[in-house]
A and B are shown apart, each in its own frame.
Chain A
């Protein structure tokens, strides 16, 4: 007989997931005096012990190669050994399925802080027109909120987190509250000069990295290893910046290794409890709550609603509209690398800087008529004298061959002479792209798994062609050579595979019309008043700006609303 441990306490707010959305909810609510119970599906985190910041490859015998699977093209670590405890594309015992003909990759980060431990820290506000895609070009739907409504929350999130940047007055890249950015690296000077000639803007990047001490966190020390996690908390991770400080209020009850199975409703349709499995003991548990916030990542949150079926909710919870799981999108990704002879012989210097680019290219053709694709993209810039890693010079081995002194000379000459350009563009939701629950497959906890359907449309293929031509022009404008022959339209090597940019979102979208959306403008379920969503699932579109800052801003706004509704006794 199944024995379920029912915890006696009743959580005021039960937050599921501890990434950007769950971290922000926890921080804001705890500081407003609300008691929060935070469930995380993965283990806890000790940054001082778990982060591999500053480690050299030679400090581990395998140099970061793990067990050698990487040499055969298998991925033992999603982003290499040294990156923070981050997550996986494939988890033993936790499969997902794809419809025939579909390629989709689903990244899961099961650890306190979720993806914020490793993410790129790129922090871009959506533009005013991003909230009105249908009004702008007749595709998709408008958001139920405007830029002006979310702007105060961008202010709050940026002020609290700390973002680098400069005032630029560019419509596609609204200015925010910025800390001083670091100066451009050498290759970034070249990219900017090339862009200047092409009349393409290239501006200081907006990164969740602090360049002065802020809220008890130390200023960046410019080791360039944000992706490994930062022991001085000089970048944003929800664990260090929001959850650990919030726990000091005494109002946060953190439960790690809690894999949520379903939301349980009463006869009035409200969520009254959440059932989860304690992964360490495989004990089934239930915890009561007055309200619940899903912040488990877009596809986990949608999966949870679809799996929370009852007599009242045969279609899944809050899903009378049938749109839970629909409108799935990921960013359009395409990259091109250039070899820049002008950088040969450059004097060696420490170019680590902040983690990631110091300059980026915001979208510049938002006002252009008669493009052959809708929407746009931004461009991320890579380059510099990177720390040598396993795999750093495989390209030289392949292209130059040989051995000994000759191979060394080729490697030395090319070291630091590459520039990488990566486009991140907007995908328009389409009817062929969605997720559902696979009726035939459960994971090791017995929870039905998602099944993905994903298809790029002509819009995205044409956008990637535009990226390819633009990047080629920028590289050649520096006197560089485009490396490798690529077919932009080939999935995987050209246009990214769906899900692989890890900006999947839209599966529990907000809107004014309960027939076409799951959530209202406060990310509160139309049909379940004490159910909220605070990850990227509520997004109505997937603009060419990384989602994290908007997740934080939207979650902050939802937290304010929820705290007020709790105070009034409405929830």
Chain B
């Protein structure tokens, strides 16, 4: 199916939304009645990919300064995370979970105290100097423990947000979640791995 033109979800119209509903209904029917063309299956994938809610996100937990700090922080932890919606993801999850919320607001405040200013207002060198300390357990000390514990959770959440975003998934090179009429494995790839494993 790789020779099918890619549909751009952003260009989908309301009319296509209607056709999507029709399509899903047809798929349901096809599933029980008469089979489904591979092209239609492919179409479902792409139409489903367009089914994303739009609109601007309003933070539920973070205050204005925190919001800017989270954005800057996430971007340093995973460049591109801002575009990947990291701050929205973190805000949403934490807003529904008081323990996580406390870890984040506490961690941001801890960094503010260390830096003498909110994270996003610190110079890049100040930001990385701080992260170089709290991003590694080996630096643990009474003075840094709170920051290290915060970073342990914060890193995971930024990483999750980044790699589950369209930009992060693409950077990683995940090529699946597509319909295919036949499953094939590149022979070169098999030969490469077998040779390197000493199993060729």
Residues from 120 to 136 in B contacting A, C-beta threshold 8 Å: 128, 131, 135-136
Q: How close is B188's CB to chain A, nearest CB, in angstroms?
A: 7
Check A216 against B169 for contact (C-beta < 8 Å). no
Report the Cα distance A61→B89, complex, angstroms.
6
Of B10-18, B43-51, B110-118, the segment with at least 4 beta carbons within 8 Å of chain A is: B43-51
> Could you say which of A58, A69, A394, A479 contacts B198, with CB atoms under 8 Å apart?
A479
Report the Cα distance A71→B34, complex, angstroms.
43
Chain B interface residue count, Cβ-Cβ cutoff 8 angstroms? 83
Size bracket, chain A contacts: 35 or more
Given contacts A186-B193, A387-B174, A390-B164, contact A245 B32 (CB under 8 A): yes
Report the Cα distance A408→B162, complex, angstroms.
10
Report the Cα distance A57→B85, complex, angstroms.
12
Residues of A within 8 A of B176 (CB): 223-224, 350-352, 385-387
Residues of B within 8 A of A343 (CB): 193, 196
Judge whether B106 is part of the interface by a CB distance below 8 angstroms.
no
| 16 A-B residue pairs with CB within 8 Å | A48-B25, A61-B53, A61-B92, A63-B89, A68-B100, A185-B185, A216-B32, A219-B38, A221-B41, A233-B31, A345-B192, A348-B175, A388-B169, A397-B156, A401-B136, A411-B163
Report the Cα distance A244→B37, complex, angstroms.
21
Of A144-152, A188-196, A431-439, A505-513, the segment with at least 4 beta carbons within 8 Å of chain B is: A188-196
Given contacts A193-B197, A231-B28, A231-B44, contact A68 B96 (CB under 8 A): yes
Given contacts A63-B89, A350-B175, contact A56 B169 (CB under 8 A): yes
Judge whether A404 is part of the interface by a CB distance below 8 angstroms.
yes
Check B48 against A55 for contact (C-beta < 8 Å). yes
- Nearest A residue to B137 via CB reads A401
Report the Cα distance A240→B33, complex, angstroms.
10
Residues from 204 to 232 in A contacting B, C-beta threshold 8 Å: 213, 216-225, 230-232
Check B159 against A48 for contact (C-beta < 8 Å). no
Check B35 against A57 for contact (C-beta < 8 Å). no
Judge whether A59 is part of the interface by a CB distance below 8 angstroms.
yes
Check B44 against A54 for contact (C-beta < 8 Å). yes
Judge whether A199 is part of the interface by a CB distance below 8 angstroms.
no
Judge whether B160 is part of the interface by a CB distance below 8 angstroms.
yes
Report the Cα distance A341→B178, complex, angstroms.
27
Judge whether A269 is part of the interface by a CB distance below 8 angstroms.
no
Check B38 against A397 for contact (C-beta < 8 Å). no
Q: How close is B3's CB to chain A, nearest CB, in angstroms?
A: 14
Question: DSSP class of B's interface residues: helix, strand, loop or mixed?
Answer: helix
Judge whether A274 is part of the interface by a CB distance below 8 angstroms.
no
Judge whether B172 is part of the interface by a CB distance below 8 angstroms.
yes
Report the Cα distance A189→B200, complex, angstroms.
10
Residues of A within 8 A of B188 (CB): 347
Judge whether B76 is part of the interface by a CB distance below 8 angstroms.
yes
Report the Cα distance A405→B81, complex, angstroms.
12
Check B159 against A68 for contact (C-beta < 8 Å). no
Q: How close is B35's CB to chain A, nearest CB, in angstroms?
A: 5
Given contacts A54-B177, A231-B24, A348-B173, contact A63 B164 (CB under 8 A): yes
Q: B67-103 CB contact bits vs A (8 Å, 1 = yes)?
A: 0000000001111000011001100111011011000
Check A189 against B193 for contact (C-beta < 8 Å). yes
Using a CB–CB distance below 8 Å, which chain B residues touch chain A? 24-25, 27-28, 30-38, 41-42, 44-45, 48-49, 51-53, 57, 76-79, 84-85, 88-89, 92-94, 96-97, 99-100, 128, 131, 135-137, 152-153, 155-157, 159-161, 163-166, 168-169, 171-186, 188-190, 192-194, 196-199
- Nearest B residue to A347 via CB reads B189
Judge whether A47 is part of the interface by a CB distance below 8 angstroms.
yes
Check A232 against B193 for contact (C-beta < 8 Å). no
Check A350 against B180 for contact (C-beta < 8 Å). yes
Q: A69-112 CB contact bits vs B (8 Å, 1 = yes)?
A: 10110000000000000000000000000000000000000000
Residues of A within 8 A of B136 (CB): 401-402
Given contacts A385-B174, A388-B174, A397-B156, contact A58 B32 (CB under 8 A): no
Check A57 against B183 for contact (C-beta < 8 Å). no
- Nearest B residue to A190 via CB reads B197
Check A189 against B153 for contact (C-beta < 8 Å). no
Residues from 148 to 205 in A contacting B, C-beta threshold 8 Å: 182-187, 189-190, 193-194, 197
Residues of A within 8 A of B174 (CB): 348, 385-388
Check A67 against B96 for contact (C-beta < 8 Å). yes
Check A350 against B178 for contact (C-beta < 8 Å). yes
Report the Cα distance A167→B136, complex, angstroms.
53
Report the Cα distance A458→B169, complex, angstroms.
45
Question: Max chain A CB contacts within 10 Å: which of B171, B177, B188?
Answer: B177
> Could you say which of A64, A232, A391, A479 contacts B27, with CB atoms under 8 Å apart?
A232
Q: How close is A420's CB to chain B, nearest CB, in angstroms?
A: 16
Residues from 240 to 283 in A contacting B, C-beta threshold 8 Å: 240, 244-245, 248
Residues of B within 8 A of A58 (CB): 52, 84-85, 164-166, 169
Check A63 against B161 for contact (C-beta < 8 Å). yes
Q: How close is B69's CB to chain A, nearest CB, in angstroms?
A: 15
Q: A477-492 CB contact bits vs B (8 Å, 1 = yes)?
A: 1110000000000000
Check B193 against A190 for contact (C-beta < 8 Å). yes
Check B183 against A222 for contact (C-beta < 8 Å). yes
Interface contacts beyond A193-B199, A405-B79, A415-B172: sample of 7 additional A-B pairs, CB < 8 Å, sorted by A: A61-B89, A63-B89, A221-B42, A223-B176, A232-B41, A352-B180, A403-B78
Residues of A within 8 A of B184 (CB): 183
Given contacts A48-B27, A58-B165, A415-B173, contact A218 B35 (CB under 8 A): yes
> Could you say which of B100, B131, B198 contacts A71, with CB atoms under 8 Å apart?
B100
Residues of A within 8 A of B175 (CB): 348-350, 385
- Nearest A residue to B197 via CB reads A342
Q: How close is A480's CB to chain B, nearest CB, in angstroms?
A: 8
Q: How close is A556's CB to chain B, nearest CB, in angstroms?
A: 20
Judge whether A393 is part of the interface by a CB distance below 8 angstroms.
yes
- Nearest A residue to B101 via CB reads A68
Report the Cα distance A61→B52, complex, angstroms.
9
> Could you say which of A390, A412, A478 contacts B199, with CB atoms under 8 Å apart?
A478
Report the Cα distance A285→B97, complex, angstroms.
40
Judge whether A34 is part of the interface by a CB distance below 8 angstroms.
no
Residues of B within 8 A of A389 (CB): 164
Check A62 against B38 for contact (C-beta < 8 Å). no
Check B93 against A216 for contact (C-beta < 8 Å). no
Residues from 396 to 434 in A contacting B, C-beta threshold 8 Å: 396-397, 401-405, 407-408, 411-412, 415
Q: How close is A368's CB to chain B, nearest CB, in angstroms?
A: 26
